[in-house]
Amino acid sequence: MEIKLSKSANERFHINNEPVPTILEKPLKSLGHWYSAELKDSKQVEQLKQDTISGLRQINSTALPEKLKLWCFQFGLLPRLIWPISIYEVTLSHANRLERLVNAQVRKWLGLPRCLSSIGLYGNGVLSLPVSSLVEEYKCAKARLEMTLTESWDPFVRGAAPTLATGRKWKPSAAVAEAKTSLRHRDIVGHVQHGRNGLGMEATTPTWQKATPAERRNMVVEEVRHQEEAARCAKAVSQAQQGCWMKWEGVERRRIT
């Protein structure tokens, strides 16, 4: 391969006598991230929406049963959306719009009415479905990225960690700080036994002080999930009909596979 370097700003770089396009002519992709001349992620966010719509249409156009269509979304389409959600400046409002598109298809595949709240789809109540919330995965991805940047072993990465743009409704830094405070408080309280099992019968989790960096990231992500579930339960209490399961007692919890 022959590479010719330009001698002035007006000349072009050539590889095998072919000019290398500039970022003004063609976007540049690096580590899965597309960079355009505008240096903004608005086009990538719009492309993410189009990919979500086209992916749902492709799944819906197959001849599979409805439950297998839901399986294709959970284990096929959703993992493909997590990476662009993590690296691009996707706000919480955009994530809510994408989840509304997903909710419409999920209700259709399950044969549920349109009036069913999203709490019934993603909540871990008495009966829970094996479906993940796109907004919850969005918050977990942003919290994981925040921890990766701010808790890096490299001091230069920690010092140059950017502020993640997620809009005004939710901030990853505030969510991570709240999760850390809750985990430190849990260390002070100590291990609490739940249920009717004997002492020491439940699986113990590592404490925050003794956890490794990878374990701390996982603990923070799980705490963010716990906060989302607590918000769903608080909303379910205010629902007279769809939230009546909050008053059930003595019912064994079951996760539908």
Residue 199 pLDDT class (50, 70, 90 cuts):
low
Cβ-Cβ contacts under 8 Å for 139 (sequence gap 6 or more): 170, 172, 175, 224, 228
Cβ-Cβ contacts under 8 Å for 2 (sequence gap 6 or more): 15, 16, 17
**Residue 89 covered by a domain:** yes
Which residue's structure tokens are 């959970």?
74
**Structural domain harbouring 152:** 28-188+210-243
**Residue 127 covered by a domain:** yes
Q: pTM value? A: 0.83
**Residue 95 covered by a domain:** yes
- Alpha-carbon distance 178 to 164, whole Å? 16
**Residue 5 covered by a domain:** no
**Residue 138 covered by a domain:** yes
Q: Which of 46-50, 52-56, 162-166, 176-180 has the lowest mean pLDDT?
A: 162-166
With vertex at residue 86, the alpha carbon angle to CA 85 and CA 89, rounded to the nearest 5 degrees, is: 70
- Alpha-carbon distance 165 to 143, whole Å? 12
- The domain total for the chain is 1
**Residue 115 covered by a domain:** yes
**Residue 40 covered by a domain:** yes
Residue 49 pLDDT class (50, 70, 90 cuts):
very high
Give me the chain's average pLDDT, please: 84
**Residue 22 covered by a domain:** no
Q: Is 140 exposed, middle or buried (0-12, 13-18, 19+ CB in 10 A)?
A: buried
- Alpha-carbon distance 87 to 164, whole Å? 9
Q: Which of 32-41, 97-106, 169-178 has the lowest mean pLDDT?
A: 32-41
- Alpha-carbon distance 139 to 98, whole Å? 14
